[in-house]
């Protein structure tokens, strides 16, 4: 009986030793350290092509994502055993004209919150940000933060490596009052931010975002309106030596991205008034035609501006103040003199029939 007890004791002892060894193995695995870093880094300036914006609300004050461009692969994340850590970090290196908002990461077990930065473009109200992500499935997304110090952005638990790319998000972040020539480009020329993995601060293991005016283009629809004239004919009636002025309206309708217009005047027949302005001349011929008279065309804005017919250097530029969908412009025709005048009357003219025609062209911005 005693012998059996001794054998049992030995068996229990061995079981306990086995469990202890098993626990020791589990414990050793759990505390194994990991470090990650970027390699195979693309050091070229960002080149992401063109984003065409077909629909947006220029008067919106709510931030709206207009689209995303890919700049391609910019490196590879590699993870090994080590002590430098694996989380993603980012920092901004440009702050001029920027905006920011609060963002919470969507990757990793711990969701870090930080402010992501938006950089200006050549069109006020249009901004962009840059983020790095797994270029295979867009996971592990981290934006350039507004902070110029290293900011932890992703709790990286990836066991294996994967390629990473840079991406451009284009945003409307305020009222767009003008699109200029219809294209937006980055206005900052140079480095705007960088990313790293782990705590090791080695420049050769960091992905750097560098931009210039050619890095990408945001293309908006060409500014345009449907242009019509009301009335299409001005009837001065029967006049003597007086100089009547009558108004008409240029009606701009169904406008797209139009924030202003430049007007020019052409005519198949023009003459000069007594001040040297090219005016619309009488197209009626024969013995019944009036002489010494013509029509001067003007924009009736806060100050009157005349258009000189067939003069490539003569134009009137009108700012609408914002992007509009419709705009009426008040114009006028003045039946004036091609001969001597005392400013209020035409003193040397030939009575008769008078007809004149002109074409107003419009270039929108």
Total-model pTM: 0.74
DSSP state of 166: E
Percentage helix, strand, coil, to 5, in the chain?
Answer: 10, 50, 40
Say if CB 292 and CB 346 are below 8 A apart.
yes
Highest mean pLDDT among 36-40, 132-136, 303-307 belongs to 303-307
Predicted confidence (pLDDT) per residue in 311-334, tens digit: 999 999 999 999 999 999 999 999
- 224-364, which class in CATH? mainly beta
Domain with CATH 2.60.40.1090 in the chain: 224-364
- 34-220, which class in CATH? mainly beta
Predicted confidence (pLDDT) per residue in 45-73, tens digit: 999 999 999 889 999 999 999 999 999 99
Burial class (CB in 10 A: 0-12, 13-18, 19+), 99: middle
Say if CB 48 and CB 216 are below 8 A apart.
yes
């Amino acid at each position: 009986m005693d012998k059996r007890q001794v054998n049992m004791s030995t068996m229990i002892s061995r079981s306990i030793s086995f469990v202890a060894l098993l626990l020791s193995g589990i414990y050793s695995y759990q505390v194994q350290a990991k470090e990650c870093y970027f390699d195979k880094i693309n050091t070229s300036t960002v080149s992401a092509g063109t984003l065409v914006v077909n629909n947006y609300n220029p008067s919106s004050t709510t931030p709206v994502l207009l689209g995303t461009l890919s700049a391609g692969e910019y490196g590879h994340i590699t993870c090994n055993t080590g002590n430098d850590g694996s989380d993603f970090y980012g920092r901004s290196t440009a702050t001029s004209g920027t905006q920011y908002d609060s963002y919470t990461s969507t990757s990793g077990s711990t969701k870090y919150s930080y402010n992501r930065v938006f950089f200006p473009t050549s069109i006020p109200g249009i901004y962009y940000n840059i983020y790095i992500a797994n270029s295979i499935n867009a996971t592990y997304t981290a934006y350039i933060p507004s902070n110029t110090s290293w900011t932890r952005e992703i709790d990286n638990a990836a066991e294996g490596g994967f390629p990473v790319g840079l991406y451009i998000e284009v945003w409307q972040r305020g009222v767009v009052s003008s699109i200029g020539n219809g294209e937006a480009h980055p206005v900052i020329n140079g480095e705007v931010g960088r990313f790293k993995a782990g705590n090791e601060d080695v420049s050769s293991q960091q992905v750097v975002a560098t931009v210039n005016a050619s890095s990408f283009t945001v293309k908006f629809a060409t500014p345009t309106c449907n242009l019509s004239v009301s009335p299409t004919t001005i009837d001065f009636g029967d006049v003597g030596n007086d100089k009547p002025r009558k108004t008409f309206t240029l009606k701009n309708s169904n406008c797209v991205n139009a924030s202003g217009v430049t007007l020019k005047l052409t005519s198949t027949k023009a003459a000069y008034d007594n001040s040297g302005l090219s005016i619309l001349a009488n197209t009626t011929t024969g013995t019944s035609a009036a002489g010494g008279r013509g029509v001067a065309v003007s924009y009736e804005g806060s100050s009157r501006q005349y258009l000189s017919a067939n003069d490539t250097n003569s134009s009137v530029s009108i700012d609408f103040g914002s992007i509009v969908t419709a705009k009426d412009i008040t114009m006028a025709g003045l039946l004036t003199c091609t001969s001597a005048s005392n400013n209020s009357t035409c003193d040397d003219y030939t009575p008769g029939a008078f007809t004149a025609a002109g074409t107003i062209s419009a270039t929108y911005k």
